Structure 1
Amino acid sequence: MMQVFADFHVHTGAARGRPVKMAASHQLTVSASLDWAMRVKGLHIVGLVDAVCDPVLEEIRQLRDAGLLVPVPGGGLLYQSSLLVVLGAEVEIRVSPRGAAHFGCWLPTVEAAADFQTWLKTVQSNTSLSSQVARTEPVRLADEVHARGGLLVVHHAFTPFKGLIGSAADRLANVLPLCAVDAIELGLSADADMADRLREMREFTFLSNSDAHSLPSIAREFNVLAVRELSFAEIRAACRRVDGRTVEANLGLYPPLGKYYRTRCRRCGAIVAPDPCACGADADIVQGVWDRIEAIADDDVPVHPPWRAPYRYIVPLSFVPGVGPRTYAKLVQTFGGEAPLVFQPPSERAIAEVVGERLAARIAAALSGRMAVSPGGAGRYGRIEEA
């Protein structure tokens, strides 16, 4: 088995000179994403979740035709012989009167992505832009994805904006059959302990992905997979835990660092659960993931199935006070990328040889989870508090 690092949720800010994900950086192009994922982050698999958008798909075809993306027999495209590229779409569907949810539709080939796009044009008004509303039902979406050999994943399931459980429904089974879903993406403010307090979640493989809207945010959360080779078929087998293929570990932000961890008022920034906000009628309250799960959990403590991958907390290097662009570049160059560095942290002494003793102590503390955090909420990331 191979041990590989994978981030399946990277957006595209612009392609062929046209905006794709409006909230994403225009520096987040296809070529830049692939280079950054491989060279800076040290990933082996990256998922482009806007690959079905018109200009992105055109660019991917061009890269394939130029021999820069090479189709793999088991599905996926290989970049520079070492990075597997998975093509996908993020589709928004209104699933209840309470709101809409985002679904990840991952496809094995360029042809499957193009065929899926043809269907998507019948239910979406603009397939040039990311995460557009589709006039369809979740079950129909799952059928269309699976008919093309793809995987359907619930994206950022617990977040308050466009998260299926985070805002639109109390249970996944209220929206579509559990068997229609191939995996659950937890999202930046959730972890396995929080999710496994809901009994229906224990059916699923969990994924921890970045939902990257910029180059630096790629792999701020990622997965460690055990597979026999780099291919879409092996990813499917890992999600289904077939013959030893599996997700070995989820590496994700310490949930309080996420920007939707606690219920906060966007106006004054105060944590307002369970106490009311001092802003009164002017309060702009965003429910946090922790508070949401407290409200709907089946059990007071998590119950993990025996095969559940361990969830390891990581702190992206860019979150550590004192790590600027130059220091970051020295670290990733020395240790072969950010993902391997945070997965198997080097000794504090080894880090000190690169950045000096004082900053090395801070980095080592962050990588081991020994830092105090001011929790995030209402769209504001949590902060590591300087010692």
Structure 2
Amino acid sequence: MLKEIYADLHIHIGRTETGRAVKITGSKNLTLQTILKTATARKGLDLIGIIDCHSPEVIEEIEQLIQEKLAYELTCGGVRYESTTLILGAEIEIYDEHCQGPIHVLTFMPTIAAMKVFSNWMRAHVKNIHLSSQRIYCEGRTLQHKVHELNGLFIPAHVFTPFKSLFGRGVKKSLTEVFDPDLIDAIELGLSSDTYMVEGIKELARYSFVTNSDAHSVGKLAREYQKLSLMDANFEELKKALHQTDGRMITANYGLNPLLGKYHETVCANCGEQVAENETTHCPYCGKQQLIKGVAKRIRELSSTPKPEIIRPPYIHQVPLDFIPGIGPKTIEKLLNAFGTEMNILHKVTVTELQEIIPEKLAARIDLARTGKLGITVGGGGVYGKVDFGE
């Protein structure tokens, strides 16, 4: 029987247990065990992708958990820790001779053994195997072939953000400038876009879209995620869902309204003003040539009117609990004590049940937040938008 599985596939490790930096911009408290404990006990995530598992110390920590019988490796791929399955991943930066700018991609391996092979192969192509999001000195297609040789998954990351992404800066018009389209398993949208914005891009019509947190701190886990229909939370079932085989699929994407994304609209980096779409070079307010092209504008440049070649699930605009005005740490703890996990609060608990624990006004805000019925102040230029309850 198929199950509802909640998954966030883009989570960073800030430091190892010894204090060694992995994602330099990540929180020092963002360790492997902290992520696993938070995902299973607090967030209620069934499946997580930690995308720094190529780092040798991280591999050692995973193996140590298994030796201590705190986790075990699944025959169908992944490592089970309590009620959460870890999929071993790596985020990598590509900037070969075919790229217009750097591109981040996510790669996932089915087993610890495969990740060890991949890490050892990467070591010869990166400057520091211990760090996250390292630039790899080989062509994008070479990386794709290595990933699929190891039965892994290859997903371009946050593909529309202005910096270090496929369409933000990496290519002029087509992903085929850098990648083999047949060796892409899914497309990660990123915080400033959603399914409805990008459904007009013809060459993406064949791919499933994933929505992930790109968490650099514990609190950001599951700020974006997806619900999948799987037999179990493991690598092989995830692969089937991405390719919509044997009835497995993504049944819903949950993410911030793109208007909240910090790169949604074009903004001048010098003065911070939002700029009209027809402005292409100079800021009309300060005159500087420092425009950061918004995701919305870039998507319109790439769009036509094709029909998707696969089933597109709904994209539900949802605001995480800690984004909601008035919902602070103490309130969240009350809710967790009553209902167990954030996934329960966001998907299963009724408004009436919420009102038994917190004030009616806050319960109403949570209900608006989880159904996307909110006013929004638009974000851009690296500044997030804001939630407006109109009160």
TM range (shorter): over 0.9
> What is the aligned length?
383
8 Å CA contact 1:273–1:291 kept in 2: the answer is: no
Q: How far apart are 1:270 and its partner, in Å? A: 1.4
Counterpart for residue 152 of structure 1: 154
1:324 aligns with 2:328: yes
Question: Which residue identity is paired with 2:37?
Answer: D
How far apart are 1:178 and its partner, in Å? 1.1
Q: State the distance in 2 between where 1:57 and 1:337 align.
A: 28
The secondary structure found in structure 2 opposite 1:99 is coil
SS in 2 for 1:92: strand
Q: Which residue of 2 aligns with 1:296?
A: 302
Q: Is the 1:264–1:285 Cα contact (8 Å) retained in structure 2?
A: yes
Partner of 1:84: 85
Residue-by-residue CA offset, 1:100-140 (whole Å, 9 max, x unaligned): 10111100111110100010011101011000000011111
Kindly state the Cα deviation for residue 283 of structure 1 after the two structures are TM-superposed: 5.3
Aligned partner of 1:309 among 298, 309, 313 = 313
Post-superposition Cα deviations, 1:224-276, rounded to whole Å, max 9, x if no partner, equal 11111222111111111111111111111111111111111233321113255
SS at match of 1:152: strand
CA shift for structure 1 position 373: 0.6
Determine the C-alpha separation between the residues in 2 that align with 1:255 and 1:230: 28
Residues 94-103 or 372-381, more deviating:
94-103
Question: Matches of 1:231 and 1:306 in 2, distance apart?
Answer: 22
Counterparts of residues 56-75 of structure 1 (less than 5 Å):
56-75=58-77
> Secondary structure of the equivalent of 1:280?
coil
Amino acid at match of 2:39: A
Post-superposition offset of 1:278? 4.2
Partner of 2:340: 336
Cα RMSD, aligned residues only: 1.6
CA drift of 1:343 comes to 3.3
1:4–1:44 CA contact under 8 A, matched in 2: yes
Flag the 1:55–1:243 CA change in 2: closer, same or farther, 3 A: same
Q: Deviations over 1:326-370 (max 9, x none)?
A: 1112223323322233234x3333222211012222222222222
* 1:50 shift after superposition: 0.3
Q: Distance in 1 between matches of 2:65 and 2:243?
A: 31
**Preserved contact between residue 41 and residue 332 of structure 1 (Cα < 8 Å):** no
Whether the aligned pair in 1 keeps the contact of 2:100 and 2:170 (CA below 8 Å) is yes
After superposing on structure 2, the runs of 4+ consecutive aligned residues of structure 1 that deviate more than 4 Å are none
Give the letter aligned to residue 287 of structure 1.
K
8 Å CA contact 1:219–1:339 kept in 2: the answer is: no
| Contact 2:271–2:286 under 8 Å retained in 1 | no
Residues 266-323 of structure 1: CA deviation (Å, up to 9, x unaligned)? 3332111325534534453221111111122123xx7444511211111111111011
Whether 1:5 aligns to 2:9 is no
For structure 1, which segment, 127-136 or 267-276, has the greater mean C-alpha deviation from structure 2 after superposition? 267-276
**Letter of the 1:348 counterpart:** V
CA distance in 2, matches of 1:340, 1:203: 32
In 1, are the aligned partners of 2:242 and 2:249 still within 8 Å (CA)?
Answer: yes
Distance (whole Å) between structure 2 residues aligned to residue 65 and residue 145 of structure 1? 27
- Runs of 5+ consecutive residues of structure 2 not aligned to the other structure: none
Q: Which moved more, 1:64-73 or 1:362-371?
A: 362-371
Superposed counterparts of 1:116-265, under 5 Å: 116-169=118-171, 170-265=173-268
Of stretches 167-176 and 68-77 in structure 1, the one that deviates more from structure 2 is 167-176
Q: How far does residue 39 in structure 1 lie from its aligned partner after superposition?
A: 1.0
Greater shift, 159-168 or 203-212, is seen at: 159-168
Unaligned runs of 5+ in 1: none
Determine if contact 2:93/2:136 at 8 Å carries over to the other structure: yes
CA distance in 1, matches of 2:167, 2:38: 32
Q: What is the alpha-carbon distance in structure 2 between the residues aligned to residue 332 and residue 104 of structure 1? A: 31
The answer on whether the counterparts of 2:206 and 2:308 sit within 8 Å (CA) in structure 1 is: no
Q: What's the CA shift string for 1:15-66, capped at 9, x where partnerless? A: 0211110111011100000011111110000111001112212211221222
Following the alignment from structure 1 to structure 2, what is the Cα–Cα distance between the partners of residues 46 and 306?
24
Change (3 A) 1:98 1:370: same
Number of the residue aligned with 1:105? 107
What is the identity, as a one-letter code, of the residue corresponding to 1:140? T
SS at match of 1:143: helix
Instruction: Tell me, in whole angstroms, the C-alpha distance in 2 between the residues paired with 1:306 and 1:57.
Output: 35
Answer yes or no: is the 8 Å Cα contact 2:99–2:177 preserved in 1: no
CA contact (8 A) 1:288 1:378 kept: yes
Q: Distance in 1 between matches of 2:276 and 2:57?
A: 44
C-alpha distance in 2, partners of 1:273/1:178? Answer: 33
User: Are the structure 2 counterparts of residues 97 and 241 from structure 1 closer, same or farther at C-alpha, using a change threshold of 3 Å?
Assistant: closer
Matched-pair contact (CA < 8 Å) for 1:78–1:85: yes
CA distance in 2, matches of 1:190, 1:32: 29
Paired with 1:97 and 1:204, the residues of 2 have a C-alpha distance of 21
